[in-house]
Chain A
Amino acid sequence: MRGGTAKAVRGVSLELDKGEILGIVGESGSGKTVMAHSLIRLLQQPPARISGNVLFEQKELLTCSERDLREIRGNRICMIFQDPSASFNPYLRLSKQLTEALMLHRDLGKKEALAMAVAALAETGIPDPSHRIHSYPHEFSGGMLQRAMIAMALMMRPSLVLADEPTTALDVTVQAQLLNLMQQLREKYGMSLMFITHNLGIVAGFCDRVMVMYAGRIMESAPVENLFTATAHPYTRSLVRSVPKLGMTDDRLYSIPGSAPDVMSDAIGCPFYSRCEFHLEECRAAKVKLETIGDAHQSACIRFKNGEQLW
């Protein structure tokens, strides 16, 4: 039996402005979901341990009271979870689950809450919402549940939405529709959005700023344009290269050799060392710290921090 601490998130520091859309990109296991969950103290501590500070609208979320936190959750900060079919209570109708938060945070009666929920479902493109809202979760497809979950989050008009791969299960037309909706809300209400995704395409077309995570650390942080045109980390470059492009003639798709480091390991140095084609001996023991290397552009790669141009 192996024990030990899994350090899922190591030293992540970020800032999100009002009305900003921040993309968080990374492989599975990079710590993106754990990071998002920890922002609103959604991890059971113990066994989890969260350290640091989270400042939201002048409130320190990691140390504030449970009551204050509950005021914020599902109200000022809404989270959209990764797996829609697991995020609904299988024994309750959607009408019940969608109106709960409304009745709690907005002090609405059943009828008004139901009307609002139906309107929210319609906004996300669910057909015949006034009837379908009374169904059980298992009577919906995954894509529709995802839309319902997005509706649930957006209808509260929160200041911040933490979206964990919200459009992964959806086809591109629906995806476009929802991204559009989120854009509108940002323009209308100044809603900020932390968008976790694997999809670099969405990031390119939708986000203002991007952070690339690997092994629990941030490797690069930049405005979206710069991330693609002036990439400043070997990992980011590999990620971009991994995306199949129109017109490529290679027989094989590019994939990054090797695998992500063990989440339990305490090793120092750059976690991407073994898979990096630009690694140096000093990378093994180098401190993985984000430093500004350009205009609002930060990188954790020591070679870029030293001012080198690798490509």
Chain B
Amino acid sequence: MARFIWYITKRILSYIVMIFVATSLTYFLACAFMSPRSNFESKTPRPPQDSIEASLDRTNLNDKTPVLERYQRWLGGILTQWDWGMSPDGDSVNSQIAGRISASVELMTLATVLSIAIGVSLGVYTAQRQYLWQDRFWSGLASVFMVIPTVVLAILVVFFAIEINQQTGARVFYVTGLSSYTGDNMFLAFIDFLQHILLPTIVLTIISAVGYHLSQRTYLLDEMHADYVRTARAKGLTKKQAIRKHALRASLIPTSVQVAFSIASIFTGAVMTEKIFAIHGLGEYFINCINNNNINGAVAVAAFSGACTLVGALMADLFAAALDPRIKMS
């Protein structure tokens, strides 16, 4: 156990170093490629030079200050006050991000749970019926959805939703935002939320369930032909029992790694889906940061998603250790 804790501690330490280096690198690159100055210079009427300089200095974004000096100030703010800086408009990045994470979590949680449940069960279902028509149908469908660009899928879903709305003459689906009901009735608010979340959830679920389905199918097929499953059959288990009790468990190990990363990505949101459905989550914020030359915001999102990725990697290790006896032993 002590060795295990030491191992985890070592991993966490190396991850922290990694995030630090990666974030610093991103900061320098962002400073090189983004120009917050142009935000002010392109305003009409053009503000006086002094006021431009003053705003840039106040937000620590002035490209006339040496980049190392800015970096020092930025890093100092984070380390001492957990202050990730300001956007060019002078808003605090911390408060902007905080609200958006919750919107992303609202959007992603249901889709992630659904996609894991649907994807893994379809994978198990089709693997047991390899080369039968059920397998051909579902796996064929999955490989088509696998290659369709997210944008196209989302646009088509929106298109059909609008068609349905027009056919029924009522607003069955909302294609933008997460909520529009403002009253106090909890039930109506919930219905309203469902109407909003349904379409993006469909898109997100399809995209990630397809991945789970195809990989779970491959993993289970690999395990089904393993020697220990044959031994189990030879000892008298039915095919179903052998798969459920032996092959399935082993095939869930690589899937659990994917699940770990999915859980981490709940917090970072989905860039494309949020943009198309106008959900003000972290993914949309990220695009806005890039488009508005918001260096501090973009770097903060990058650092956050880097941290989430590494938490996912750590969880993947733990999941694998919990499921795989071979890892526990070594």
The yes or no verdict on A and B being binding partners is: no
Which A residues form the contact surface with B (CB < 8 A)?
Answer: none
